[in-house]
Structure 1
């Protein structure tokens, strides 16, 4: 745009301001202290001038008007204080806007307390400025502590565990550090080193500090300093090779907000860095103002043509509006002020007068809320509250937006994303892709293992169970060798890392006694930095986490019991009745339609009961051991002893043992014979014990929860995350099955977990009750059948005799009388049967006839009875025996 047009805009603004002044408005003098030699100071001055023009162009009818007195602090704290005293003493200003730096604001705010003049700074961001000790200080900007949560979320999203802050040695630089440390502790990240750079540092000093950082393993750096010092830092970082692949640079708002205004060579050296800055919502008014601001800034600062409006310029603009509105609200009827004199004849602090307008003006500023160019402008808490930050990736000549952070949504790709989230929620996939230093698209690990001849010292300790870890010294080479399940898992995890990890084993304890020392002492060697890592069958416990960090466990967790088992073959005589309840037996009788189903169910259930041999544990609950006063065993040196004491066991009932054979012998003896009733041990050891002593024992529990076995690292060691990830990969695949099979054996061959079952042989005793019932039923049936037979035979004989007599009577054998008297028939039969002396010839034929007849009947009866007997023996039922009539 031609320079002439810019001058027209400028003259128009000045004319508007003069028109407003000419209406007789009452003036309120306001001091402005800026560092006009800095980029931020020059930007802020342009914004303030435009704010004055715009405000009184809109509110030209106001009865009050601000009169600004701009002063240059020359980036010096003493100069800033001197200018503030001059403004208060000689110009009787009712408010001071500024100063620019946090270090300057401390003393000037004390002057404001003394004179009751509000001090409003839109650039002093240090958290060390507290409104409780400085009641007249108002921060029209964000506290630096507001951005630490967004930075911590970014670090957590990418999984970095260590960061190094690089900050300037000023109140501004130091103020953020305590809040940054607290935010990082929440996400379990730490600061191993702080790099403090003085404002007066030379290029050589900066280079020397960068070389020191390169000798460390951490590769994540947070830069918090002025744009001038940050420019020198990044140029040197690129020269020494710290802007290559593998490095991470994160810039705070103070640098990020000025990216587009820095020298292109500086921005190029920052390529790949991330930055966070306060998010400013877009609006039409902001676009229009930005255009006007760019034109005015080019006129005022022709040598800063590449500079662009940033958030500090917007806050300066909104601050003028806030003060002007508060001034109109309070009014100046009781204000005491005077016009500046020609000379500055007094700068003594004791000559400072107390403002009568200041308290009311401060209250009006704090109560004023409006929608400014920077967004919602609300100073009720004596500072602005940040709700969202923009995350950028420096690429080319500027910053590319990769996402946002907000208190409501955490990290997200879009600012208006609606989802419930915690302050630290979000992950790397929630952001747009990043081009990292060295033009890499691979997310840096955040640390580098230094391999300059130094190997990681891995402490090893021979276990009481050599299957887990056994350590020995090579007498020829002197090297330490370790083998076992714990060693194989560790070496497999290291082998799978995407980078080389040189290490060597170091024996814990003396060479003569490699098992000396407890496991707590063993782990403590990491805390005192004797070892970098310790591996083995190390149980992850709560008290140990106070001085080391553990990987995820590579074994199962918990403490359980090993107890003997007893055979419980069911020898109940009436066991065959158990498959059905008494009620079911009666169903069985009534509803014969279910006979087939019930018979099948009965057969299956009964066969299961009779053919399964059950092995039950002798003890099923640890409290049972306590009640009975039983002795229990544990592995000597294990923390299990403390667990047993916490459960209530008397120390005299707790016996230590060293080897699995010792456990076996003690369990075989039993508690009453000098042994133990149960072995209380960790689950991995119990599985190993049962793999060797399958018969006769079982596991009960777990009775106590623990985290399993893991490897111990120094607190917040960055290797923990990578090793843990590989351990999860191993334990979830075939590799762990192969390792366990090699060292523990095939655990499927012995299933001694809980109740053990196995098939047994059937004996006569199993069916004793059934045999008794069958015998009783058979004998009873035989006796009943015999009784029925005899009864019917006698009855049948009597019937035959009766029929014969009646036949003879019908034929007249008994004489002429056809109706013999009672008993006559019997007598006649007897008489006819008896031989008669007087009738010898006639008597013999009759007697012979009767005898032959009876003999034939007897034979017929005998034949019928024999047939009946045969029918009975064949199991056939008959209701009546048919005979031929006589």
Structure 2
């Protein structure tokens, strides 16, 4: 087939030979003679190649080049022989959400990989609407983006699918399909709760803290009322409100009479002082920072200045390089989280392990579709070139794929596929119960609560035991009064008689006895 005058003749009964030859020259784009800028009508397709001539003007053409026919094909065999071969499509095995790309073992053939997901479905739909018939095979590719670019440049593969962001080096070697997705790093952060609510004044403390504080206040008020009521205080009601009033002001008209009241109030006032100062600082900080948070919570410059920890898939070399070299994050402040698990990102953002997360634009849309409450996105801050299908330079397959993508977008098929991808039966909020926790709990004040509660409990015991002791003493005295000797002994050794009182009592007894004897 190298000489211009040479002709290879194949009869209609030698179809197998024609098929083998067609497979060898299948990477060429066959055109009519004299074609320079070809149109669809200039292509020779769906013909049975039986007798043909090749010009010797391209004796050693490049793979995928254009060869002109020297003669018109006029007859065919019973079966068509196409001018293309099976396309080898590389599928990069990387950390990608399984909704976009999932590689698993084929159930029927365990030696083969089963590849599913949005990228493969989109590629199949594009191939179905292409103006040419073609077959392809999806081949998993284990390697970095640079290795994939080099493999495509060597034409090891006819194309590669999956979102690929192009670098300057890669753009010199490869071609892109129609850019139907916005490509660029998206910043996602946890959304701050709005403080402008009716009960925003309760936000500095948790519900547990408020309940504990109210219970301790009522308990101390009851103890003070119990103690002061034993002293016959005229304004017991005012004393009852003393623990409540200490929450708001310090001056009081009524002063406690019992030392036990001061014993109860001392740790309670310390607790109130610490709690009130903490509440004031927390509430003031929340109010003053609300405007700043609402306007700059997604500010990249603030993240860099504060050395905030951000998360991204560090196995994605292009994303990592973009964050470090272009945006300016320090590598030590970047935490690796696999992009395949968007739930891990939601957990890390909710618990505060990272302040922000970076996704490529299509994947951030999936994240926000699943977690539509409690998170916000911003970007892309730098729009980059990229596509889900890339080809070697000057690939004849690229124009048809771009045309097919345009058809899918124009027909609405792509939008329906995207809506199905981003539709979830239930929209999650900020994922975890930790996100619902707000304010300070009773934990930091537990020591003061225990001290105040112990003091009140001791005061109750003393207040209850005192009258019981007095009643017991009177009961014992009443029992002893029934007998003379015991009455004398009780009178003699009464705790109210001391020293000279005992002598006076004995003198009186002696004087009485002498008087009786004299009179008798």
TM-score calculated relative to the size of structure 2? 0.49
Q: Structure 1 or 2: larger strand share?
A: 1
Which of the pair has more CA radius of gyration? 1
Structure possessing the higher relative contact order (Cα contacts under 8 Å, 6 or more residues apart): 2
